[in-house]
Chains A and B, each alone.
Chain A
Amino acid sequence: MPESMLRFENVTVRFDQLEALKDVSFELKEGETRIVMGAAGSGKTVLLKTAIGLDCASSGKISLFDQEIQGKAERDLFDLRQRVGVLFQEGALFDSMNVERNVGYPLLTRRDVKGSGKKAAKVDMAATHARIQEALDFVELGQTLKLMPAELSGGMRRRAAIARAVATKPPLLLYDSPTAGLDPITAYTIMALIIKERDVDNTTAMVVTYRYQDGNLVANFRYNPEDGQLVPDEKAAAKTIFMVLKEGRLIFEGVQEKLESSTDEYVKKFVKRD
């Protein structure tokens, strides 16, 4: 029985008058990858932020790693959040730090598991450094340690941000629009990285995107460690669940096959094969 990583039960998120999420329920199980699709403003980003308590639900129940998070004070969420890697929509690298320090940041601020609020007694600098290098090599940015975010291209920034998200090897990853605004080749590279992360570290993930090709890759390919390429894989489809949001409502949830046979006009617009 796979563990529950994230559970939404009738969650509504309200900003003043506007309801960004309406009565959303789903459960993300260990080993699953969920592809979240929806038009601009449909609440995809809010969904991810609510999952780790950055935005607050006005009603409903959210459980992260089987622990309820609403009503908890910000400080009490820190330990849970450190088990989640997040790629923000625009990358959100810290402008004032170079790539190395950006990627190292989650490693250096990681707290004691006992949660006394103190930093881990002694941070092993050599190990930290090796891990930074490893994370950057993973996204093929091993040569850019000393560059500032402003000196990177859009695609490189996105990859550096992925390196930061995976640096602590969190069991759960949330990717917000990893391929938005990128050319098809870079977008493919980034999706390949996400699939590689899924297959190498066995992570659970939510991937927000409005490109159907992205979901298609995740659902049908796996990472081949021998040559570093993606190869077709029929087993991936079963653990890839698609979700479609429309104006804050979850209107579809299911595997690719079910998505492609959907008759809903809105859902059909997202399913384009080329």
Chain B
Amino acid sequence: MLDYFKGPVQGLQDFTTLAGQAIGNIWRRPHYWDDILIQMDTIGVGSLTIAVFTGFFSGIVMALQMGRALGQYGQTERTGEVVSIILVRELGPVLTALMIAGRNSSGMASELGSMKVTEQIDAMRALGIDPIQKLVTPRMIATAIMLPCLTVIADFIGMVGGYVVSALVYHLRAHQYWTTTWQALEWSDVVQGLLKPFIFSFAVSLVGCYYGLNTTGGTQGVGKATTQAMVTASMWIFVLTAIITKIFVSST
């Protein structure tokens, strides 16, 4: 029984150590600015399409569902309000983070994992370079910057998707849709909508890097690390969103 828990507990401990070092490195030289920029490009620019796609279609689906449900109470014109609240508070952050986890957590795990099994990580250490400083911290910083940006874009595109449905299916006027959409949002929604992706970003990057750096067993191990990274990061996103939502619900 004790042995059963030893693995996960050891894993969590190692993960915490990695997270601590990666965060501690933010204040420590040398800083690898080019790596941060390159990662911002892969994570941010590279994931723009899926963020836009995810946002647009979740907006469409929500407007379709909500418009119909609200229509039963004769409140179809409030579609924009509901769409924007759900998007900004929940669906935008979570869906974007899940997509980025699928794309980038797994990407980081496979990239770092291949470096691990081909001894490139050892080569780095042998050359006097801290792999956490060089590989993990830039990925963490880049994700922490880009994920909130992508989420804002996904939220906005989602509202556009909601508008397309409202206009074409429910014949709402543009003015009607957009004013309710903006007015529905409170500061706490915006804070929540930005805080979530910021916190998720650490799950996305650190989980990906953790599995990458702990890869064993050759190319086969890289495949395993990739899948595990994606699954674990996704599960963390669900757990974290539940916790953060609970905090916001009880405090407002």
Contacts and interface: CB of A to CB of B under 8 A. Distances in A.
Nearest to B129: A109
A194 B130 CA distance: 28
A223 to B, nearest CB: 26
Given A117-B29, A119-B30, A92 B128 contact: no
Nearest to B123: A92
B147 to A, nearest CB: 23
B125 A54 contact: yes
Contact of B118 (A86, A92, A119): A92
7 contacts: A74-B130, A78-B130, A90-B119, A94-B123, A95-B114, A109-B127, A111-B128
A78 B28 CA distance: 15
A21 interface: no
Contacts of A221: none
Contact of A81 (B29, B115, B120, B126): B126
A266 interface: no
B122 interface: yes
A1 B104 CA distance: 56
A92 B119 contact: yes
A92 B130 contact: no
- Interface size classification for chain B: 10 to 19
A75 B130 contact: yes
Interface string B16-31: 0000000000000110
A52 B126 contact: yes
Contacts of B123: 86, 88, 92-94
B130 A90 contact: no
A49 B126 CA distance: 9
Interface string A113-125: 0000111000000
From B122, B126, B128, name the one whose CB has the most chain A CB atoms within 10 angstroms: B126
A81 B127 contact: yes
B221 to A, nearest CB: 15
A126 to B, nearest CB: 21
Nearest to B38: A96
B126 A86 contact: yes
Nearest to B30: A119
Interface of A: 49, 52, 54, 74-75, 78-79, 81-82, 84, 86, 88-90, 92-95, 105-106, 109-111, 117-119
B30 A105 contact: no
Closest 4 CB pairs of A and B: A78-B128, A92-B123, A92-B119, A88-B119
B92 to A, nearest CB: 33
Contacts of A92: 118-120, 122-123
A273 to B, nearest CB: 32
B39 to A, nearest CB: 12
Interface in B120-141: 120, 122-123, 125-130
Contacts of B29: 117-118
Contacts of A79: 128
A84 B130 CA distance: 16
Given A90-B118, A92-B120, A54 B128 contact: no
B129 to A, nearest CB: 6
Nearest to B124: A94
Given A82-B128, A86-B126, 20 more contacts: A52-B126, A81-B125, A84-B126, A86-B123, A88-B119, A88-B122, A88-B126, A89-B119, A90-B118, A90-B119, A92-B118, A92-B119, A93-B120, A94-B120, A95-B114, A95-B115, A105-B127, A109-B127, A109-B129, A118-B30
Nearest to B114: A95
A185 B128 CA distance: 34
Contacts of A105: 127
Nearest to A102: B123
Interface in B47-93: none
A26 B42 CA distance: 48
